[in-house]
Amino acid sequence: MALKSRLEAEMKSAMKEKDRERLSVLRMIRSEIKNLEIQEGHPLEDPAILTLISKAAKQRRESIAQFQKGGRDDLVQKETRELQIILEYLPQQLSADELRQAIEKAVAAVEATSVKDMGAVMKQVMADVGGRADGKEVQQLVRDLLS
């Protein structure tokens, strides 16, 4: 089932079950998809939708960190629940070992020898993992490996 269809079906299900929190998150995602489709002028395919959902997850993680600094436990809990719902629509994240192997493969592929080659390695890794790893985590591991 296409991701967009799955989102719509689960939104209807959330309406029937009166799951307000899930419904709110799904409506937000659907709204962002619709806005991007209007900007692009054509319906979005699954990779573009996954990118959009990844951005939403990243925003939630950043919000959680900021709310924790501010001592707002109520908002931390709300954002955490929303993040859990969003993560259901993303592919399974790579384990640390799988990610390290993908980075080592990319380093060998681009023949990287120093931190100066980090951009080429990052480009290769992010193309290979396709949304199954957090960019900051990948960046840190690439930097550690090339140092």
Q: What is the CATH number of the domain that holds 22?
A: 1.10.1510.10
Q: 22 is written with which tokens? A: 């899930």
Task: Let me know whether 109 and 77 are in one domain.
Answer: no
R_g over Cα of the chain:
18
> What pLDDT does residue 20 have?
94
Q: Indicate if 133 and 71 belong to the same structural domain.
A: no
| 100 plus 82 within the same structural domain | no
Q: In this structure, is the dihedral angle defined by the CA atoms of residues 4, 82, 87 and 103, taken in order, positive or negative?
A: positive
Residue 21 and residue 80 share a domain? yes
Are residues 32 and 68 located together in one domain of the fold?
A: yes
> pLDDT above 90 covers what percent of the chain?
46
Do 70 and 110 lie in a common domain?
no
Instruction: Give the pLDDT of residue 142.
Output: 84
The more confident residue out of 77 and 147 is 77
Cβ neighbours for 116, distance < 8 A, ≥ 6 positions apart: none
pLDDT tens digit sequence for 101-130:
888 888 888 887 778 888 888 888 887 787
Q: How far apart are CA 21 and CA 35, in angstroms?
A: 21
**Distance in angstroms (rounded) separating the CA atoms of residues 105 and 110:** 9
Cβ pair 81, 21 in contact under 8 A: yes
| Domain count of the fold of the chain | 2
Q: What is the pLDDT of residues 5-43, one digit of tens each?
A: 999 999 999 999 999 999 999 999 999 999 999 999 999
75 in the same domain as 18: yes
Say if residue 81 is in the same domain as residue 47: yes
Tokens standing for residue 137: 């985590």
User: Residue 99, Cα to own-chain centre: how many angstroms?
Assistant: 15
- 83 with 100, same domain: the answer is no
Report pLDDT for 33: 93
Residue 112 · residue 121 · CB < 8 Å: yes
pLDDT at 75: 93
pTM score > 0.85 for this model? no
Residue 77: name the closest of 61, 90, 64, 89 by CA: 64
Q: What is the pLDDT of residues 74-93, one digit of tens each?
A: 999 999 999 999 989 888 88
Residue 13's domain comprises 3-87
What integer pLDDT is reported at residue 66 of this predicted model? Answer: 95
Residue linked to tokens 């395919």: 45
111 and 48 within one domain: no
Helices (H) and strands (E) in the chain, counts: 7, 0
